[in-house]
């Protein structure tokens, strides 16, 4: 059906490349491009079959990107580089007339703050160009937003309370490591907490609100309210929500390491001079931490991510829980990466498939919950991320 360009050869890019290559009817030609071409070559070699072409690109350099797009002429770019590149890649897509998709919203390099306003501001430009931009098509954001859309479409007349629950009960057997890009991950989890209640954002200290929640097949895990980007678009697209929160599990060891990292200044994004060279502490920290893409081999256990929703159906209060459990070991066997890269890369491939099939194709900039969730939900079951529904159970929240 069409050509696709994947940008970013990290853990998520590896999974996207595997899954895209496994669907030759939909993705007729594939190119994988990243800053370091050798990483793309390694991934292409591991997948085999000569299906994937590779290229080096600095995605912060718009003219370089435009040249690559004009040479390869893809229908769609799947951006799984870092959030800092989002706007540059969107600019290049507009210039070359190519559609766009990503899994994480734009963050300025010098400010640990992520909001959709920068990307939503491109709406008119994409509309005028007749191009589609699909934002946030990983697991969270991504599948969590699609679960919400699916619940609202099929199970509720009005959704009122949404709790997204993200548990990683896996063990990578390292004293400390992050499951995706360490810089982005640490920036995300050390910021202040924030949730939506009665029409306004409530801010908390980092990790201030927490309680044990029970996860299917896993059991109780201490879960913490943090701010997560899909809350911003979901409260906008579902104005009936009285409250929307995001919970993530953290182990005590992880939190202790995080506290020390912050206390000694290693989480800072403010550049410092070291031996005459300017370095950013958190970027240096990334260089010495385990590479998330290499954690897979020893990773055991499960991730469990879902949405717990309460609202009204036929005048009655109803509760609903929809989730996926993903095994790190199974993800590794299939793609050579751990479950967090897998749960992000599979939805990115499915979002691209929705676009290629013309099901999610309309001019403008959209969050995934603005599209029909049904065909996407069918593909989740077929592509390694099956979902489970619990009706009228105890949501614990």
Helix axes 143-154, 230-237, angle to 10 degrees: 20
**Shortest Å distance, C-beta 29 to ligand NDP:** 20
Which 225-244 residues touch ligand NDP, going by CB under 6 A? Answer: none
Cα-to-chain-centroid distance, residue 160: 24
Q: Does 80 bind ligand NDP (CB under 6 A)?
A: yes
Q: Does 67 bind ligand NDP (CB under 6 A)?
A: no
Q: Tell me if residue 89 falls in helix, strand or coil.
A: helix
Contact 224, 237 (CB under 8 A): no
Count residues contacting ligand NDP (CB under 6 A)? 34
Q: Does 170 bind ligand NDP (CB under 6 A)?
A: no
C-beta of 156 vs 232, nearer to ligand NDP: 232
Question: Using CB under 6 A, which of 4, 6, 10, 353 touches ligand NDP?
Answer: 10
Question: Using CB under 6 A, which of 103, 148, 233, 324 touches ligand NDP?
Answer: 103
Contact 102, 135 (CB under 8 A): yes
C-alpha 159/C-alpha 321 separation (Å) is 12
C-beta of 143 vs 213, nearer to ligand NDP: 143
Distances from the Cα of 42 to the Cαs of 5, 14, 36, 335, in angstroms? 17, 10, 11, 13
Contact 80, 348 (CB under 8 A): yes
**Shortest Å distance, C-beta 278 to ligand NDP:** 18
Question: Using CB under 6 A, which of 24, 36, 260, 394 touches ligand NDP?
Answer: 36
What Rg do the C-alpha atoms of the chain give, in angstroms? 20
Distances from the Cα of 219 to the Cαs of 40, 173, 212, 249, 371, in angstroms? 39, 20, 9, 12, 33
Question: Using CB under 6 A, which of 74, 170, 292, 351 touches ligand NDP?
Answer: 292
Question: Using CB under 6 A, which of 43, 47, 129, 140 touches ligand NDP?
Answer: 140
> Residue length, the chain?
397
Q: Does 34 bind ligand NDP (CB under 6 A)?
A: yes
- Site residues for ligand NDP per CB under 6 A: 8-13, 34-36, 39, 57-60, 80-83, 85, 103-104, 138-142, 180-181, 184, 292-293, 340-341, 344
């Amino acid at each position: 059906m069409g050509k696709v360009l994947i940008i970013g050869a990290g853990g998520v890019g590896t999974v996207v490349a595997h899954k895209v290559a496994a669907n030759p009817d939909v993705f007729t030609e594939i190119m994988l491009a990243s800053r370091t071409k050798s990483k793309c070559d390694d991934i292409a070699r591991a997948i085999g079959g000569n299906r994937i072409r590779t290229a080096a690109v600095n995605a912060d350099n718009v003219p370089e990107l435009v040249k690559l797009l004009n040479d390869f002429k893809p229908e769609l770019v799947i951006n799984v580089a870092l959030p800092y590149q989002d706007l540059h890649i969107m600019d290049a897509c507009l210039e070359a007339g190519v559609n766009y998709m990503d899994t994480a919203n734009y963050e300025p390099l010098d400010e640990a703050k992520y909001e959709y306003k920068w990307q939503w501001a491109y709406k008119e430009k994409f509309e005028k160009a007749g191009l589609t931009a699909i934002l946030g098509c990983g697991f969270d954001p991504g599948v969590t937003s699609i679960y919400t859309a699916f619940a609202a479409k099929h199970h509720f007349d009005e959704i009122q309370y949404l709790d997204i629950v993200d548990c990683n009960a896996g063990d990578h057997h390292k004293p400390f490591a992050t499951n995706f890009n360490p810089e982005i991950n640490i920036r995300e989890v050390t910021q202040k907490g924030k949730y939506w209640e009665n029409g306004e954002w409530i801010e908390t200290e980092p990790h201030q609100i927490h309680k044990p929640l029970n996860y299917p097949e896993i059991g109780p895990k201490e879960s913490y309210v943090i701010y997560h980007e899909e809350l911003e678009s979901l409260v906008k697209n579902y104005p009936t929500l009285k409250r929307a929160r995001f919970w993530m599990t953290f182990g005590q060891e992880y939190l202790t390491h995080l506290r020390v990292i912050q206390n000694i200044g290693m989480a800072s994004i403010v550049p410092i001079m070291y031996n005459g060279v300017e370095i950013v502490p958190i970027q240096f920290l990334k260089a010495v931490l385990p590479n998330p893409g290499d954690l897979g081999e020893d990773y055991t256990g499960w991730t469990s991510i879902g949405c717990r929703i309460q609202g009204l159906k036929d005048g009655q209060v109803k509760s609903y829980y929809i989730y996926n459990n993903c095994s790190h070991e199974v993800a590794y066997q299939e793609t050579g990466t751990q479950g967090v890269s897998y749960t992000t890369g599979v939805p990115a491939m499915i979002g691209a498939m929705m676009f290629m099939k013309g099901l999610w194709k309309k001019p403008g900039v959209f969050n995934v919950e603005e599209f029909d969730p049904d065909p996407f939900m069918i593909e989740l079951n077929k592509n390694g991320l099956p979902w489970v529904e619990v009706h009228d159970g105890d949501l614990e929240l």
